[in-house]
Amino acid sequence: VQLQASGGGLVQPGGSLRLSCAASRSDLKINAANWYRQVPGQQRELVASIGSVQSGSTTDYADFVKGRFTISRANAQKTVHLQMNNLTPEDTAVYYCNAEVYGPFPEVDYWGQGTLVTVSS
């Protein structure tokens, strides 16, 4: 089982990107999930979280992305998105998804491989 992150790329300041994170098998679902980011040489930091369906899917954001980023689950819990608007060069990082995945087995915590976001003019 893998979590596949996608959607990164090069965008100009003020632009938008949508990151996606999906389980590698169609019989799996994503429950609670997080997006982290990491700049080379720095610690990985939590960007956004979405709680389990059972807990009401509460979302939470780091102060530095509040009002600009939105985390959501979609596609019958098979995908988690991170909509990123009004991007700045400080948002440049490798973004990782982390999620509780379940299906024929109880929830297991998985990490995606990371997707690079570069914000530059």
Nearest C-alpha neighbor of 93 from the set 42, 37, 41, 44: 37
- CB 66: neighbour CB atoms within 10 A? 10
Q: What is the structure's pLDDT at 1?
A: 66
Q: Which residues pair with 112 in a beta bridge?
A: 3
Separation of alpha carbons 105 and 115, rounded Å: 27
The residues, any chain, with a CB within 8 Å of residue 40's CB and separated by 6 or more, are none
How far is 34 from 97, CA to CA, in rounded Å? 6
Per-residue pLDDT of the chain (121 residues; tens, 9 = 90+): 689 999 999 999 999 999 999 988 889 999 999 999 999 899 999 999 999 999 999 999 999 999 999 999 998 889 999 999 999 999 999 999 999 999 888 889 999 999 999 999 9
* Model pLDDT, residue 75: 86
Integer distance in angstroms from the first to the last C-alpha of the chain? 37
Q: Which residues of 37-61 are buried (b: 16+ CB within 10 A; e: fewer)?
A: beeeeeeeeebbbbeeeeeebeeeb
Three-state DSSP state, 94: strand
